[in-house]
Amino acid sequence: MSGKIIGYVRVSSYDQNPERQLEGVPLDKIFTDKASGKDLKRPAFQELLDYVREGDTVMVHSLDRLARNLDHLRHVINVLTQKGVRIDFVQEKLVFTDEDSPLSHLLLSVMGAFAEFERSLIRERQLEGIAIARQKGLYKGRRKALNEAQAKELRERVLQGEKKSILAQRFNISRETLYQYLKLSDRLVIA
């Protein structure tokens, strides 16, 4: 192996510790994302794709750290192996190269499908937990983007004719959130 050994680490939230994923694995360089797996625009991952060269090895803790679903996983592995990059998944002990066999493609499909299934079960349990917490009055939901004074100012400025896209930027909210606040204020006026 003549290339560099490069690590890719992804954690879903800022309070998770990325250190444990490739602990003890000797690396020349590491790329770390703190983003959801469903987010395909991960900055460190894009940097990794630009950085790797033929002969390099990319070390990843597990299949679900690299991609969100089986189709995306296959695509990423294909992109990397076509560059002549080897991919090692530490937890599953799987290795993919540009010389992969039909057996390795089968293993990828099976392992990727299990990872996708596991994520869907986790999501289902999370939704069940939220429903139970709501029934008990314990679930408050996501924190509001704007307080009442900001929401009132937003509505007034829209009524004065200010552009919604500019207001969304100034209030540091998406346009969708802006429209939700306007819709909410319409319901309050009607009631």
Active site residues: 12
Strand order in the sheet with 86-89: 29-34, 5-11, 57-60, 86-89, 94-96
Euclidean distance between CA atoms 59 and 71, whole angstroms: 20
